[in-house]
Amino acid sequence: MKPLTFACAALAAAMAVSCGQPVKKSFDGPAYLDESLPVEERVEDALSRMTTEEKVALTHAQSKFSSAGVPRLGIPEVWCTDGPHGIRAEVLWDEWDQAGWTSDSCTAFPALTALAASWDPSLAGLYGTVIGEEARYRKKDVLLGPGVNIYRTPLNGRNFEYMGEDPFLAATMVVPYVQGVQRNNVAACVKHYALNNQETARFFTNVTVDDRTLYEIYLPAFKAAVDGGAWAIMGSYNLYKGQWNCHNQYLLNDILKGEWGFDGVVISDWGGVHDTDQAITNGLDMEFGSWTNGLTMGKTNAYDSYFLANPYLERIRSGQVGTTELDDKARRILRLIFRTSMNPEHKTGRFTSPEHYAAARKIGAEGIVLLKNDGGILPLRGAKKILVVGENAIKMMTVGGGSSSLKAQHEVSPLDGLREALPGVEVVYERGYVGDAGGEYNGVSTGQDLSEKRSAAQLIADAVKAAQGADYVIYIGGLNKSDYQDAEGNDRQQYGLPYGQDAVIEALAAAHSKLVVVNISGNAVAMPWVSRVPAIVQDWYLGSEAGHSLADVLTGAVNPSGKLPFTFPVALEDGPVKTPEQFPGLPGDKTWESSFGSVPILEETYSEGIYVGYRWFEAKQVAPLFPFGYGLSYTTFAYGDPKVSKTVTTDGSVTVSVPVTNTGAVAGAEVVQFYVADPESSVDRPVKELKGFDKVFLQPGETKTVSVQLTRESLSFFDAAKHAWVAEPGRFDVLVGASSADIRGSVSFELK
């Protein structure tokens, strides 16, 4: 009855305010409802009032996207939503089918590859803030994102959801995103922890990786998110050390909750739990999406059969397990609730506002990367007629790709964006190729009719003919979010462009001297025609404002400043992952007894170790197609001589600075990158590693000094034998440049 008493008291207080009477500030209700108290006091008070059954109910789902609260105590349910690029449309309580709402069409934001390509932490903060506002408006407590798994191979179908190949870049970008989301009383659930770098056999692949590689490459972004205050972490589907990562002793208890002191909740990926005993003891807090006891995915009323539901209660009642772990889980979940829906700030959020669309447009434009611009044919100027070719110029990309698929309120296509930006120019269109004529995912349809009767040869012939008399030809192709491309559940089957696009590009290159190729993808692709195309633009899945963002860059309304967050190899075999043992793994001697039958566990070895991305290409002296950190501008930048602070502090930190001047005629931004090399190390180390960057905007002729602080952590490697980070005394070189392959200067210092 106390919560009811409190509710009456609150109503009386509200009435007193309306009557102009002073409000009594004393509080005689349960402490957990007193919002003026510290969260930990509220948690402990609520925990002390709960039954074992109520605690267990907190730990597992009650619907597809929610878990139970404690109605008796007035503690609300927890509601999750898929991200990380927008708020997923509502589905039915028990099923994946659409709920049929008319008010759940969201703002679609750019994919996280685009955000990473901006190299701008302030934009990451903006992104988190606006998507957090949309989640709060829809009354969601947990946003399932962002994703920070490392780009290990360009075949990973889910790379478009992540932040690139470098742990420092991902770690730097994830923190402001998380903090922006959580300003809205919404928990960011950082995923997928950890070593989840493929979609092939994702439920039954056991990863073998050494501790140094784990700590140096695959954990830093997660640790940064935890240090930055993340309230939730999602476990991954795969196994590590023979245990599923949603209940993994080493990853969850030893590292996450032990070494890092994480005080939030560990949420399973949907269907990622496989064992009650391990779920109890190995660090999992909340179970979602399971199909247990032979039930299949999507079965209704299966929640009592979840691993952390009745099976957990039965073990407690029989004395097989105690309640120490249960209290820890419940405590963490209550902490989550008091940080979100029962947070005293009571944020209300905003949805599909003009400000959100403006943010999406800005983030998208700043993430676009200009890869080639021979003769300065971009930006577009003086054109009377432009031919646009390619299915991706018209195909909606917000629908599809897996759990990040969205029901967007609107999506501006590249073709429409160009036509709007160039009102006095004749912009004509040719299909060029047929990729995926479909446009439906999980009950959401684009409504587009992309059927086509012309043959591939006729499509090319028509495009070449239409190029006659055009001042520019803009080819807009790449990948899409269909299966076996950029999509959850399946990896890519080829590195080259699908649907015969190379033939279309070759024909257009032969037919017109001013060809601009725009590649829309979340992954690197082969470009055998690179020497015959004067201008190449790397575009991404940019969401609702995709066409506006691209048009802003192509027309010069925005000077491109994006830099690649991952390396483009010339050929797949040039990269570090090239054997079946490395990807996707080989069948081992263990099996998974699932509802699908007996499935062999694949054994996958990360034998490339720390040599991922540019680290590999530099160590092996293999030239990439385009290097990590690369991107051109419509202006030029000159770097002065870098300098290091004269003294090295006792904690090993130094400040490195370099003057940068805009030497061109156009205002623009440059991403200044700082790499550290340790030429005298006792262990094998990469040629250099990114340890700092800053994005600086300069007017023509303007000079600014860019500085970063390098700490002892910036100089360290992980010593697995000592299980510690080690910075050895001696010389360190700091290389400053415009990409990993374009070093403009260097400076050295001694660590005593």
Residue 23, judged by CB atoms within 10 A of its CB (0-12, 13-18, 19+), counts as exposed
Tokens representing 83 are 């991200």
The catalytic residues are 269
Query: Which residues, in sequence order, are bridge partners of residue 147?
Result: 191
| CA–CA separation, 668 and 558 (whole Å) | 8
| CA–CA separation, 460 and 473 (whole Å) | 13
Cβ–Cβ < 8 Å for 81, 189: no
- Which amino acid is present at 731? R
Residue for token pair 């349809």: 445
Stretch (H or E) spanning 116: helix 112-118
SS3 180: helix
Residue 523, judged by CB atoms within 10 A of its CB (0-12, 13-18, 19+), counts as buried
Cβ–Cβ < 8 Å for 693, 119: yes
SS3 26: coil
SS3 396: coil
Query: In the 3-class helix/strand/coil scheme, how is 412-437 assigned residue by residue?
Result: CCHHHHHHHHCCCCEEEEECCCCCCC
Stretch (H or E) spanning 475: strand 472-478
| CA–CA separation, 269 and 199 (whole Å) | 13
- Pairing of β 535-539 and β 515-520: parallel
Phi, psi of 498, rounded to the nearest 5 degrees = -85, 175
| CA–CA separation, 137 and 139 (whole Å) | 5
Residue for token pair 């002793």: 249
Residue for token pair 């209300």: 348
Max distance between CA atoms of the chain, in angstroms, equals: 83
- Per the document, the length of the chain is 752
Residue for token pair 């267990």: 56
